[in-house]
Amino acid sequence: MLVGVVTAVTAPEFYSGGNLANVSRQAAPLAVLAIAQTLVLIVGGIDLSQAAVVQAVTIALVSWTNSSDSALPVVIPLVLALGLGIGVVNGVLSTYGRIPPFIATLAVGITVTGFRYVLTNGIASGTVPPSVRTLGGGRSYGVPNAIFVPAAIALVMWILLRYTTVGRRLYAVGANARAARSSGIQTNAVTIACYAAAGLLSAVAGLELAGYVGFADRSIGQGVELDSIAAAVIGGAAFAGGVGGVVGTIAGVALLSIIVNLVLLWGLPTGAQLVAKALVIIAGLALYRFLSRLSASTEEGGRP
């Protein structure tokens, strides 16, 4: 509410149709990444390989299709499988390898980036196939195409987390892995599945971002893993695991996207985006802690 009022007063052009469409296109890949990050955070993990996956998918898409739609039926499954495979490696290292998720996913991300540099000699060039550009930058019935995929993913994940046994198992693993294991839940399998899903969703986000940008660039997606963590944490997820949800994460994505756009509309330097993001993250964490303490004190006060 406060952000909406400030926006209306200081940058009314934000609400123009063109600007809102642009913001939604920019937010779409982040929404997919943030949902992926939320899944991993719920089970007590973290994924720092997202930027590497996005960049690898973009380069692979351009290289394997030669900017043509004809190869997409083969290439799309391959790049999705690439993201899925990277996610599985993250999960296996974090569970059976007993490597802290922060280190495991960071190492995997660095490795993927290293292979990408070796295979491309550090040079990325070429344009994205027209159909993918339509996905990231086109419209259908006046609505940006980019929002359809995140909306579908968000709906599926919301139902999964809120109404299914699978969702309850995720929260149980994140809240107390030992207790979950004692109750018969295969905690390693659940964790690996979350990382695999996160890798797959990161590949989807890479396709969305490639479609929006329209060409291959070695710096595409740089820092997206930090933005996705920020959006998830602002939305109520915690590094300790066991909490978080799709609705809160989407709200976090919206808030970050609006703030970044406002910085540009206000004519502030690009560096101000980083400062704005940092302030939003701090404010979000402070609010989350306040509400958590308020909830805890209310529960204690209500006990006989």
Q: 187-215 pLDDT, tens per residue? A: 999 999 999 999 999 999 999 998 888 87
Statement: residue 33 has pLDDT above 90: yes
* Separation of alpha carbons 14 and 8, rounded Å: 8
Of 80 and 268, which is predicted with more confidence? 80
* Separation of alpha carbons 8 and 186, rounded Å: 50
pLDDT tens, residue by residue, 210-258: 888 887 777 788 888 988 998 998 888 888 888 889 999 999 998 888 8
* Separation of alpha carbons 168 and 237, rounded Å: 15
Mean local confidence (pLDDT), 250-277: 81
Q: What is the dihedral of CA 195, 101, 149, 1, to 10 degrees?
A: 140
Average pLDDT over the chain, rounded to an integer: 86
pLDDT band per the 50, 70, 90 thresholds, residue 8: low
So what's the pLDDT on residue 158? 95
pTM, two decimal places: 0.89
So what's the pLDDT on residue 295? 61
Of 109 and 118, which is predicted with more confidence? 109
Amino acid at 123: I
Of 291 and 276, which is predicted with more confidence? 276
Residue 215's φ and ψ, nearest 5 degrees, are -150, 165
